Chains A and B, each alone.
Chain A
Amino acid sequence: MRAKVLPAEIAEDFKTSPEHVRVSIAAAMTLGLKPGNFFRNATCDCVNLLENYPAGCYANCTYCGLARERPGLAQDNTFIRVGWPVFPTDLVAEAVGSQEDRVGRVCVAMVQDKRAYPDLLDITRRIRRKSDVPISALVTATLLDEEKLLRIRDAGADIVGIGLDAASEEVFFRTRGRGARGPHSWSQHWEIARAARRIFGPMRVNCHVMVGLGETDRNLVDLFYRLKSEEISAYLFSFNPEPGTAMADVPRAPITRWRRVQLTKYLIEQRDLPREAVEFDEAGMLKHVRAPRALIDACVEEGVAFMTNGCPDRNGKMACNRPFGSYRPGEEFRDYPFVPTEEDQPIIRQQLGVKDLGG
């Protein structure tokens, strides 16, 4: 008798979490689950996992490839513009355990689904059983409370990430909340961020913040100061329109804006740039950053300001570098997944428009 073979797209419907997880292409390549190499010999030091359900995600964020109202089947769609192949969770856990020298961290990301929270615990425990590698939980704040955060910690996660994404309440409402026919609320996200900060400790909670969702630079700068004062990390992402989503036709932030936001964030967080040193125009966009030219030059030479923001490995070195996560390898770099080289520095300098920046 011939075995019935399910078409791939139907078969993937049944490969749900917690038995299966989606793995970022970069992580799948690193673990040897998918072929391929990285442009400029970049490495991927964090294994990013995503829960998988037939509907994708019941939230409806206007920029997200997993949005409920995005046309097409969830399994055919991309997330952050690339495919996320599905693998058995235990296979991934084995691969992580056997390659601990190459894996700096694992990140388990929730979606909006009633199964998402218990499955996050289950997946986290499966990874922990096979490996001591640090684990981040990238949580859906809407589904959580303080008690659940404690259980996430007890399951083995040492860092919590929260996809705040929007830099202001108004942008949040329009892109993620009721304005987008989505379930998320700004206040709930902050409540969970602060609860997580209490439970996990200073700089062990991070909020993802996207540049390009319609916020002003003033919104971003205000948020950087606010997060710093609460000892919560800000991880910057460059919005990149995902085909088929409600924001598919919205252009990305110009590269000069992106570089200046990266630099300003770095100066605020690492060099204690005072608030009055940042000047905005009438539209709330960065006009001048009154920092010594020598300091800006030093930042360009050091390069860290222009790298990906991400969770660290067990030695404190940034692990979650998401190579080519928010731009194609053939395009100009947005966040560098490695320390920019000497050849990159003149490009960064030009993109920053250093001469005009200081005012």
Chain B
Amino acid sequence: MARIEGYDFPDDLWYHPPEHLWLHPERAGDEWLITVGVDAVGQDALGEVVYVQLMDAGRVVARGEAVGSLEAEKMVRPVLAPLSGTLSEVNGALMAAPRLLNLHPYDQGWIFRMRARDWEGEREELLHGEERVRAWISAELQAMKERR
């Protein structure tokens, strides 16, 4: 687990920097099942989440397509699919209790699961491994401080 200026970044996850999403891949037979959530810095930047809106499971989506939105008290942002594939499950518990995303971003606060169409190909766009994640987050936090 990388801990960077108080933010946790579990080592076993993959990260999607533009949207501050984390991805947890699991082999399911011939397919890859990917669980997706917002990382610790992303949830902090969003503020306290009050509404989560998501498409129904079963929808085929392309990478970068909006699958829903996250609304905090003073912010709203789309949830973009970090990969192409099929939504297999959305987190009903999160939709009922949006604060789970802030309180438990890496477990109970997961957003959706998808069956990836091309995990090996598309994961090239993601970050994995403590060193790379640390470099990205450190630069990101520095930029945020400068913007303030």
A interface vs B, CB < 8 Å?
Answer: 25-26, 29, 34-39, 42, 82-83, 323-324, 328-330
* Other A-B pairs beyond A37-B74, A83-B73, 16, CB < 8 Å: A25-B48, A25-B73, A29-B47, A34-B47, A34-B48, A35-B45, A36-B47, A36-B73, A37-B46, A83-B48, A328-B51, A328-B71, A328-B76, A329-B72, A329-B76, A330-B71
The answer to whether A35 touches B47, judged by C-beta atoms less than 8 angstroms apart, is yes
Count contacts on B: residues with CB < 8 A to the other chain: 14
Most chain A C-beta atoms within 10 Å of own C-beta, residue among B51, B71, B72, B76: B72
Q: How many residue pairs at the A-B interface have CB separations less than 8 Å? A: 53
Complex A-B: 18 CB contacts under 8 Å: A25-B47, A25-B73, A26-B73, A26-B74, A29-B47, A34-B48, A35-B44, A35-B45, A36-B72, A36-B74, A38-B74, A39-B74, A328-B51, A329-B71, A329-B72, A329-B75, A329-B76, A330-B71
From A26, A36, A83, A328, B46 is in contact (CB under 8 Å) with A36
Most chain A C-beta atoms within 10 Å of own C-beta, residue among B46, B50, B75: B75
Q: Which residues of A contact B71 (CB under 8 A)?
A: 328-330
Binary CB contact string for chain B from 13 to 48 against chain A (1 if under 8 A, 0 otherwise): 000000000000000000000000000000011111
From B44, B47, B69, A330 is in contact (CB under 8 Å) with B69
Q: Which residues of A contact B51 (CB under 8 A)?
A: 328, 330
Q: Which residues of B contact A328 (CB under 8 A)?
A: 50-51, 71, 76
Q: Which residues of A contact B75 (CB under 8 A)?
A: 36-39, 329
Measured between alpha carbons, how far is A329 from B50 in the docked complex, in Å?
Answer: 11
Measured between alpha carbons, how far is A42 from B47 in the docked complex, in Å?
Answer: 14
The answer to whether A36 touches B76, judged by C-beta atoms less than 8 angstroms apart, is no
Q: How far is the CB of B42 from chain A (nearest CB, A)?
A: 11
Q: Which residue of A lies closest to B71 (CB)?
A: A330
Measured between alpha carbons, how far is A36 from B45 in the docked complex, in Å?
Answer: 4
Q: Which residue of B lies closest to A325 (CB)?
A: B74
- Listed from nearest, the 3 A-B pairs whose CB atoms lie closest are A36-B47, A330-B76, A35-B44
Q: Which residue of B lies closest to A324 (CB)?
A: B74
Measured between alpha carbons, how far is A26 from B74 in the docked complex, in Å?
Answer: 7
| B67-126, CB < 8 A from A | 69, 71-76
Measured between alpha carbons, how far is A328 from B70 in the docked complex, in Å?
Answer: 12
Q: Which residues of A contact B73 (CB under 8 A)?
A: 25-26, 36, 82-83, 324, 329
Q: Which residue of A lies closest to B41 (CB)?
A: A35
Q: Which residue of A lies closest to B77 (CB)?
A: A39
Q: How far is the CB of B95 from chain A (nearest CB, A)?
A: 14
Q: How far is the CB of A164 from chain B (nearest CB, A)?
A: 27
Q: How far is the CB of B39 from chain A (nearest CB, A)?
A: 13
Q: Which residues of A contact B48 (CB under 8 A)?
A: 25, 34, 36, 83
Q: How far is the CB of A322 from chain B (nearest CB, A)?
A: 10
Measured between alpha carbons, how far is A237 from B76 in the docked complex, in Å?
Answer: 22
Most chain B C-beta atoms within 10 Å of own C-beta, residue among A25, A29, A328, A329: A329
Q: Which residues of B contact A324 (CB under 8 A)?
A: 73-74
Q: Which residues of A contact B69 (CB under 8 A)?
A: 330
Measured between alpha carbons, how far is A273 from B46 in the docked complex, in Å?
Answer: 43
Measured between alpha carbons, how far is A35 from B41 in the docked complex, in Å?
Answer: 10
The answer to whether B44 touches A29, judged by C-beta atoms less than 8 angstroms apart, is no
Measured between alpha carbons, how far is A212 from B73 in the docked complex, in Å?
Answer: 22
Q: Which residues of A contact B46 (CB under 8 A)?
A: 36-37
The answer to whether B45 touches A39, judged by C-beta atoms less than 8 angstroms apart, is no
Q: Which residue of A lies closest to B72 (CB)?
A: A36
Q: How far is the CB of B118 from chain A (nearest CB, A)?
A: 32
Q: Which residues of B contact A323 (CB under 8 A)?
A: 74
Q: How far is the CB of A39 from chain B (nearest CB, A)?
A: 5
Measured between alpha carbons, how far is A34 from B73 in the docked complex, in Å?
Answer: 11
Q: Which residue of A lies closest to B45 (CB)?
A: A37
Q: How far is the CB of B139 from chain A (nearest CB, A)?
A: 18
Measured between alpha carbons, how far is A25 from B74 in the docked complex, in Å?
Answer: 8
Measured between alpha carbons, how far is A39 from B74 in the docked complex, in Å?
Answer: 6
Q: Which residues of B contact A35 (CB under 8 A)?
A: 44-45, 47
Q: Which residue of A lies closest to B75 (CB)?
A: A39
Assuming the A-B contacts A329-B71, A330-B51, are A39 and B44 also in contact, with contact meaning beta carbons closer than 8 angstroms in the complex?
A: no
Q: How far is the CB of B92 from chain A (nearest CB, A)?
A: 20
Measured between alpha carbons, how far is A201 from B41 in the docked complex, in Å?
Answer: 47
Q: Which residues of B contact A38 (CB under 8 A)?
A: 74-75
Measured between alpha carbons, how far is A39 from B75 in the docked complex, in Å?
Answer: 4
Measured between alpha carbons, how far is A37 from B73 in the docked complex, in Å?
Answer: 9
Q: How far is the CB of B69 from chain A (nearest CB, A)?
A: 7
